[in-house]
Chain A
Amino acid sequence: MHRTARSLTATGLSTSLALLAATPAAAAEMTVTVTIPRLSVAEYHAPYVAMWVETDAGKPVTTLATWYSVKLKANEGTKWLPELRSWWRKAGRALAMPADGISSPTRPPGTHSVSFAGAKSPLGRLAPGNYRLVIEAAREVGGREQVAMPFQWPVQAPATVAAKGTAELGAVSLALKP
């Protein structure tokens, strides 16, 4: 499994493009850090995780990443995607999964960072406004949790937003660079 941070391209985005402006903004960078807690349970599976950008009114704008069992035969890992309930309703059910630049394997307990940068990333076409980055995690035979972090776009000055889950997510943060 690849755990390195990478830039996502806009390829494969098929929903909620209305809020994406036509012309790319300056290359700003967003780094999302997600801690998946180590849990002592009889049956542990790494959680499915989705992260997406929505307006401060809750309207989904773009999916940044979905971590799920992408390598199962016959696309069987998609079966449990609706467990990411918020993401599924807002964006996932309208996407064909796997989606280039969005789908990647689940990640084990620990801290993981992913960066989205440049005009080619989904953020490159984000219209100015107030947004939330939402991270949702759902674990097989486990629970579900989501955490949201507000941010403004475009980024004026380097900033970090931090939040913390209580069950399925540990500390999460959002680092923004103009």
Chain B
Amino acid sequence: MRLAPSALHLLALAGLAASLATPAAAHRRWLLPSVTVFAGDKGLASVDAAASNALFAFDHRALGLDALAVTGPDGKPVTPVVIGRGEMRSAFDVPLAQPGTYRIALAMNGLMGSYMLDGKKQRWRGTRARLSELPATATDVELSENLGRVETFVTLGAPSTTALAAAGQGLEMLPVTHPNDIVAGEPAEMRFVMDGKPAAGLKVEFVAGGTRHRDDAGIQTLTTDADGIARFTAPTPGFYYIEADMEGGTAAAAGPGQKPIKRRASYTAVLEFLPQ
């Protein structure tokens, strides 16, 4: 079954809202590509999207795809072909028509919370752009902004970096080592930025896939240096999961006299470490 993006959008809303609400407490969220390194004139990356406990097993629920954004080697959007959404996973294909690196991302952001109006508590959900729609007479505005980014990368031919430019909002991972040029046994360095600025002292989790088939959870917790750089070393080849969460950054204003808006950002990525 192929769902049009609009139908999928509706289906995805409930799940997306849940993941926006509690990024830190959510299950591991990931985009797992079939292959990360492609050759030839064209390629097709097929990607699964899921939230799970075990890596990389479809054991919890599908991730919605309404926030799916694929950036091509020229920096322009690439239209994915959505296969569909099951209970446990969503799936889509990314056609690779030009050589270089593609950034595949679920970039979610939104505000939610409540306010008091005429003695009644009102729930509110929206975006920064819609903050002005809050009633002028609203009081006790309690909002939090959640920014979540779930990513993976694939390359046709030689790696390129245009698609990897910072979006500048929320928590992001930028390449020092190219994300499709990493091998087991060699350190891969990545720079973490919050709103485009180095995220120093950030705790980053690094976990090898295959958790279900070993006793050790295998979570390495790394800390970024003053430039936001973390160094990942994978002892064995495979797909690895990276996750980081932080609060802060540049908060939006809810309006004069209102409390500052709390802000949380999360980032996850799947990287493939190839054998040497």
B131 within 8 A of A: no
Q: B276 near A82 (CB under 8 angstroms)?
A: no
Q: B39 near A85 (CB under 8 angstroms)?
A: no
Q: B39 near A92 (CB under 8 angstroms)?
A: yes
Q: A85 near B275 (CB under 8 angstroms)?
A: yes
B207 within 8 A of A: no
Q: B183 near A78 (CB under 8 angstroms)?
A: no
Which of A81-104 touch B at CB < 8 Å?
Answer: 81-82, 85-86, 88-89, 92-94, 97
Q: B37 near A75 (CB under 8 angstroms)?
A: no
A2 within 8 A of B: no
Chain A proximity mask over B6-20: 1 for CB below 8 Å, otherwise 0: 000000000000000
Q: B157 near A75 (CB under 8 angstroms)?
A: no
Q: Which residues of A contact B (CB under 8 A)?
A: 74-76, 78-82, 85-86, 88-89, 92-94, 97, 144
**How far in angstroms is the closest Cβ of chain B from A98?**
11
Please report the C-alpha to C-alpha distance between residue A78 and residue B157 in the assembled complex, in whole angstroms: 10
Chain A proximity mask over B133-162: 1 for CB below 8 Å, otherwise 0: 000000000000000000000010111000
The residues of A that contact B39 with a CB separation of less than 8 Å are: 78-82, 88, 92-93, 97
Task: Determine the main DSSP class of A at the interface with B.
Answer: helix
Please report the C-alpha to C-alpha distance between residue A86 and residue B37 in the assembled complex, in whole angstroms: 13
The residues of B that contact A82 with a CB separation of less than 8 Å are: 37-39
The residues of B that contact A78 with a CB separation of less than 8 Å are: 39-41
Interface bin, chain B: 10 to 19
Task: Determine the main DSSP class of B at the interface with A.
Answer: loop
Please report the C-alpha to C-alpha distance between residue A130 and residue B125 in the assembled complex, in whole angstroms: 66
B254 within 8 A of A: no
Q: Supply 28 A–B pairs (Cβ within 8 Å), ascending by A.
A: A74-B41, A76-B40, A78-B40, A78-B41, A79-B38, A81-B39, A81-B40, A82-B37, A82-B38, A82-B39, A85-B274, A85-B275, A85-B276, A86-B276, A88-B37, A88-B39, A89-B181, A89-B274, A92-B39, A93-B39, A93-B155, A93-B157, A93-B158, A93-B159, A94-B157, A94-B158, A97-B40, A144-B275
Please report the C-alpha to C-alpha distance between residue A82 and residue B210 in the assembled complex, in whole angstroms: 23
Q: Which residues of B contact A (CB under 8 A)?
A: 37-41, 43, 155, 157-159, 181, 183, 274-276
The residues of A that contact B183 with a CB separation of less than 8 Å are: 89
**How far in angstroms is the closest Cβ of chain B from A74?**
8
**How far in angstroms is the closest Cβ of chain A from B177?**
12
Q: B41 near A75 (CB under 8 angstroms)?
A: yes
Contact of B40 among A75, A85, A89 (CB under 8 A): A75
List 5 tightest A-B contacts by C-beta distance, closest first.
Answer: A78-B40, A81-B39, A93-B158, A82-B37, A94-B158
Please report the C-alpha to C-alpha distance between residue A144 and residue B276 in the assembled complex, in whole angstroms: 11
Please report the C-alpha to C-alpha distance between residue A82 and residue B275 in the assembled complex, in whole angstroms: 12
Q: B40 near A79 (CB under 8 angstroms)?
A: yes
The residues of A that contact B41 with a CB separation of less than 8 Å are: 74-75, 78
**How far in angstroms is the closest Cβ of chain B from A71?**
14
Please report the C-alpha to C-alpha distance between residue A92 and residue B37 in the assembled complex, in whole angstroms: 12
The residues of B that contact A81 with a CB separation of less than 8 Å are: 39-40
**How far in angstroms is the closest Cβ of chain A from B35?**
8
**How far in angstroms is the closest Cβ of chain B from A60?**
13
**How far in angstroms is the closest Cβ of chain A from B268?**
25
Among B39, B41, B276, the most chain A Cβ lie within 10 Å of the Cβ of: B39
The residues of A that contact B181 with a CB separation of less than 8 Å are: 89
Residue of B nearest to A78 (CB): B40
Q: A81-B40, A85-B275 are in contact. List 12 more A-B contacts (CB 8 A).
A: A75-B40, A76-B40, A79-B38, A81-B39, A82-B37, A82-B39, A85-B276, A86-B276, A88-B39, A89-B181, A93-B157, A144-B275
